[in-house]
Structure 1
Amino acid sequence: MTSAMTLYDKIVDAHRVGDLDAKGRQVLLYVDRTVLNEYTSPQAFSALRQAGRAVWRSDAALGVVDHVNPTAPNRGADMPDAGGQRQTDYFAQNCRDFGIRLYDVLHPLQGIEHVVMPETGRVLPGMVLAAGDSHTTTYGALGALGFGIGTSDIEHYLATQTVIYRRLRSMRVRVEGALALGVTAKDLVMALIRDIGAAGAMGFAIEFAGPAIEAMSLEGRMTICNMAVECGARGALVAPDERVFAYLQPRAGLDADLWGLAVAHWRTLRSDPDAIFDREVVIHAEDIEPMVTWGTSPDQALPISGRVPDPAGETDPGARRDLERAIAYMGLAAGARMDAIPIDRAFIGSCTNARLEDLQAAAAVVRGRRVAPGVRALVVPGSSLVRQAAEAEGLHRIFLSAGFEWRQSGCSMCLAMNDDVLAPGERCASSTNRNFEGRQGAGGRTHLMSPAMVAAAAVQGRLTDCRNLTPEA
């Protein structure tokens, strides 16, 4: 019997306070850090107040306003609606009363929580982070185990620094070869979700490995770990390497001696060579094209060269009904070419694809071009620091000259919780992570894709292969 361990099990075991069942499948897990937002935290704080409990380690939590805030270029502290104002006011009160640092809407470090946490050095390899947002899996790009938790779990965490946790099975997704020019991390993870299904990783933690992952930027790794939850995974990991260390060195705030010790430990954070995974998936990177979704689930995706599927070819009655419903909601016709679908909106943003690398890729497509007539296009940087870095490179001038709106940071049009929403029937090319019915606004129609693909759609007025738009001088 082998004693070899996966990276996932190493991290869980290092944080296990105790077993809660005889087989050790349910454990009490120590959580190093969390991030709180105005949307998922109120009930947890109310429960703490009612029980007279304090926060066990207030320095291990960060509060960020990101979901309900406006992203208008000249925004102020006020929310666009009374409900959002109540949420942010109560959130600020909770952070003050419980001693938690808050990045409110006007703070110079404000941004989307899963962008802010890594860029401010709060996510380190080997950590466990739990937060009230499913895309906490993003942190796996740095070799940390992140996962979403519910309101009662947030309360338990704040009071005890632990959560009750059920161990996951392990899945390794090995990506062989290299991604072709114009094909991105977003395309890779969308291809994975299409191949294994929206529930294909249910009950698993995914470890991404292989040559294509090793060659991938840290920002690209954040994208694939972020969207791993869309195929059901409750954890995603990439073993930390030199890319991670280079990213963290100016951010982690460690002196030279501590830095050396930390890196020496981080180098041990990888699955043992003979570790056994419960499931293995192999993807060949060279087979992947730029991807777009056609339906109302992230697994309803196709290469941009494809056509909307025909439900008549589906033999399973339930699956056929799902296809018919999705096609009807999206206002499409079976057999329609994906690259001929017109759009009304283009949105570059979200915790999936609003980092500097994403904006650079989109700007390379946009430079020297104009947004197509009738299309409203928005760029919403993932954080105030990303916005600042993009402006230092002049990216904002490229977008503004092309007719894009250059906005402040926040979740924005990723979800219909602020004033950036689709009108019923509007069709949006979006760099976000979910295309559910009504996700971007009641009756809105969402097509997921990479930032470069969104940029291409914006200037062409329809879904377009970004590889056909060579950068302008």
Structure 2
Amino acid sequence: MTSARTLYDKIVDRHRIASINNVQGAGETLLLYVDRTVLNEYTSPQAFSGLRQAGRTLWRPQAALGVVDHVNSTDPARRRDSADAQAQQQIAYFARNGRDFGIEMFDILHPRQGIEHVVLPDLGWVLPGLVIAAGDSHTTTYGAFGAVGFGIGTSDIEHLLATQTLVYRRLISMRVTIDGQLSAGITAKDAVMALIRLIGADGAAGHALEFAGSAITALGVEGRMTMCNMAVECGARVALMAPDDKVFDYVAGRPRSPAPALMDLARQAWRDLPSDPGARFDRDVQLQAETIPPMVSWGTSPDQASAIGDTVPDPLDLPVDRRRDAGRAIAYMGLRPNMRLQDVPIDRAFIGSCTNARLTDLRDAARILRGRKVAPGVRAMVSPGSSTVRREAEAEGLDRIFLDAGFEWRQSGCSMCLAMNDDVLAPGERCASSTNRNFEGRQGSGGRTHLMSPAMVAAAAVAGTLADVRDFPVLETW
């Protein structure tokens, strides 16, 4: 390896316990120390069962946190028995695992309950330079802080809990540089959707992807989380951004962040993390921020997306290797080639998920909704990313804006991002959604999902069709 190193390699090198195959650089297999993990009730049960069967205890129980988020109900009148019988059984077993193995748990009624990838930053538990692995692919979110985060399978969760290590293969690297300034109404969600459309759903497969450029530096921390979260949708195993003063200030003062005296020392150490000048990346991709439009998906993969002003593509106009998938997607979505996207009616509007349910996301949507009403026939819901975010939003009066517009103000949880709870689409229902995946049946069997930013969801809810947020000027200053 050269002396100039990437942010990714610096963090991996600091956490390497031993090399297993003695390969240098990408492709090296190593034993990697993992600083922290977060567990949920859906992906962890088999790991705990395996620990029990083997008679193993946890190496560092204090390095794990359990959060109920996938299967719980988000009914506004939250109760322990709100979830169905199967979900209650999963939640009960999760609570038992926490008690038996000494893991702190945030259950349904905990004041900090929420989606795991929102809860950890809420707490200040995600810090630059850490390695965080968890049983959820969107663990890449933590790259916004300059931390290496990645998803793992159930057997790896068991190994991690027992040893605090993983057998890990070092990734090849990609740098995505976005320079310039995003236009009015364009958000981090639009930027990452534009990237996924450009390189494809497997365009970053096997890579550690680092975002760079002036447009990235200009983003707030929560926008950066959105981009790192959705990087997995173009195949990235890790997504990273250089930590800076915005990150340091975001972390400072949170419940589990370093004490003030230690923060000063930490800041000094964190400033050495960014990639060195001259560090080599295996692949470089460039985008210009000014060219990024408001994005909306039309198909059943995140890379099947277009500018809101475009039409549904004709498969015959696409490259040969994409025609079959596009034709199937258009048929599933109940669309027609060449129809205007802004003519597509919606039945549901949903703001939530680990991608877009933070305070700034809710503010973006509320700016569009203030003084407006949801279109007749549209059921609109917002599920804040955590109970903490929900309280913060209520303190600003955002809940009243959503309620006055006709949105349901739900409790926190994964909610309609995936069909594992009672927030699901009926067959054939079409949803404008701020989530991360639009696969067939993702939000409910036969449901049709259009991905977009929270502000775009708000615009669609008001219009009753897919809509361009730029056609909805803010009626009042914030």
State TM-score, norm by structure 1: 0.99
User: 1:291, 1:449 within 8 Å by CA — same for their partners in 2?
Assistant: yes
Q: Does 1:2 align with 2:2?
A: yes
Match of 2:216 in 1: 213
Give ranges in structure 1 of 5+ residues lacking alignment: none
Match of 1:304 in 2: 308
Match of 1:439, SS?
Answer: coil
Determine which of 272, 278, 288 is the counterpart of 2:276.
272
Q: Does 1:78 align with 2:81?
A: yes
Q: What amino acid is the match of 2:258?
A: L
Match of 2:149 in 1: 146
**In 1, distance between residues paired with 2:158 and 2:377?**
47
**In 1, distance between residues paired with 2:418 and 2:390?**
20
**In 2, distance between residues paired with 1:152 and 1:98?**
17
Q: Does 1:128 align with 2:138?
A: no
Q: Does 1:382 align with 2:393?
A: no
Q: Does 1:320 align with 2:314?
A: no
Match of 1:87, SS?
Answer: helix
How far the C-alpha of 1:313 sits from its partner, in A, is 2.1
Match of 2:168, SS?
Answer: strand
How big is each residue's C-alpha offset from its partner over 1:183-211, in whole Å with a ceiling of 9 and x where there is no partner? 00000000000000000000101111110
Match of 1:349 in 2: 352
Match of 2:16 in 1: 16
Q: What amino acid is the match of 1:294?
A: W
User: 2:190, 2:453 within 8 Å by CA — same for their partners in 1?
Assistant: yes
> In the comparison of the two structures, how many residue pairs are matched?
472
How big is each residue's C-alpha offset from its partner over 1:363-412, in whole Å with a ceiling of 9 and x where there is no partner? 00000011000000001000000000000000000010111000000000
Q: Does 1:450 align with 2:438?
A: no
**In 2, distance between residues paired with 1:459 and 1:125?**
40
Match of 2:436 in 1: 433
User: 1:70, 1:412 within 8 Å by CA — same for their partners in 2?
Assistant: yes
User: 2:75, 2:82 within 8 Å by CA — same for their partners in 1?
Assistant: no
How far the C-alpha of 1:253 sits from its partner, in A, is 3.8
How far the C-alpha of 1:310 sits from its partner, in A, is 0.3
User: How much is the aligned-residue C-alpha RMSD, in angstroms?
Assistant: 0.9
Q: What amino acid is the match of 2:297?
A: T
What are the residue-to-residue correspondences of 1:253-264 with 2, within 5 Å? Answer: 253-264=257-268
User: 2:123, 2:257 within 8 Å by CA — same for their partners in 1?
Assistant: no
Percent of pairs identical after alignment? 69
Match of 2:197 in 1: 194
Bigger Cα displacement from structure 2, 346-355 vs 246-255:
246-255
How far the C-alpha of 1:79 sits from its partner, in A, is 4.5
Match of 2:376 in 1: 373
User: 1:129, 1:147 within 8 Å by CA — same for their partners in 2?
Assistant: yes
User: 2:125, 2:257 within 8 Å by CA — same for their partners in 1?
Assistant: no
How far the C-alpha of 1:22 sits from its partner, in A, is 2.6
How far the C-alpha of 1:28 sits from its partner, in A, is 0.7
How far the C-alpha of 1:312 sits from its partner, in A, is 2.0
Match of 1:178, SS?
Answer: coil
Mark the CA change 1:293 to 1:419 in structure 2 (over 3 Å): closer, same or farther: same
**In 1, distance between residues paired with 2:326 and 2:138?**
26
Give ranges in structure 2 of 5+ residues lacking alignment: none
Match of 1:192, SS?
Answer: helix
Match of 1:247 in 2: 250
Match of 1:179, SS?
Answer: coil
**In 2, distance between residues paired with 1:34 and 1:141?**
17
Q: What amino acid is the match of 1:427?
A: R
User: 2:253, 2:260 within 8 Å by CA — same for their partners in 1?
Assistant: no
Q: What amino acid is the match of 1:81?
A: D
Match of 1:330 in 2: 333
Q: Does 1:464 align with 2:467?
A: yes
User: 2:302, 2:451 within 8 Å by CA — same for their partners in 1?
Assistant: yes
**In 2, distance between residues paired with 1:45 and 1:2?**
42
User: 1:168, 1:203 within 8 Å by CA — same for their partners in 2?
Assistant: yes
Match of 1:165 in 2: 168
